[in-house]
Amino acid sequence: MNSSKNLPAGFSLIETIIAMSLLMVLLSAGFILFSASLRSFSKINQKIEQNQNSQIVMKRITEEVRGSRGILSISTPSRLVLDYLPDTIAYELNDLKFRRSKNGYGSYLTTENQITDLTFSYPGPHLVEIKIKTQGRNYRSRVLVRNYE
């Protein structure tokens, strides 16, 4: 009647080895998925940051062009110089970093490689076309000087 005395207690060595092997396979698969998710998240964050910085740069240039008294004749396709009497404000891409300077003193507003190309063209006397290129996207805007004399 008492048959439980004949059953072995606990798991055998083979059962334990199989269970540990299955656990290791599952943990390895989970680690691989987790690391792939982290890499993907990092790349997406980098793209979002590039897009946000490009939009901030475009907005800053646009606002200051509109509020300036004019585009100075020393402006080139790679450098925009605005008349903000009594100041001058210049924009350029220097060492793949966006630089804004006021009266010759400037600072960088982006880190390296966030903007890959920045060009200006001047289709009209008080009009500037701004083109910003990043690794994944291009931005373009035409802005008219509102306060010219």
pLDDT surpassing 70 at residue 85: yes
pLDDT surpassing 80 at residue 58: yes
pLDDT surpassing 90 at residue 136: no
Calpha distance 53→43 (Å, rounded): 15
Q: Detail the DSSP E strand segments found in 39-145.
A: 70-71, 79-84, 87-94, 97-102, 105-108, 117-124, 127-133, 138-144
Q: Which residues contact 133 (CB under 8 A, 6 or more apart)?
A: 115, 116, 117, 118, 139
- Could you give the percent of the chain with pLDDT greater than 90? 60
pLDDT of res. 7: 63
The answer to whether 97 touches 112, Cβ cutoff 8 Å, is: yes
pLDDT of res. 148: 73
pLDDT surpassing 60 at residue 138: yes
pLDDT of res. 64: 92
pLDDT of res. 114: 85
Calpha distance 143→75 (Å, rounded): 15
The pTM for the full model equals 0.75
The answer to whether 126 touches 144, Cβ cutoff 8 Å, is: yes
pLDDT surpassing 80 at residue 2: no
Averaged pLDDT, 116-126: 92
In the block, tokens 């901030």 appear at: 56
The answer to whether 105 touches 88, Cβ cutoff 8 Å, is: no
Calpha distance 137→124 (Å, rounded): 26
The answer to whether 92 touches 61, Cβ cutoff 8 Å, is: no
pLDDT of res. 9: 73
17-49 residue pLDDT tens: 999 999 999 999 999 999 999 999 999 998 888
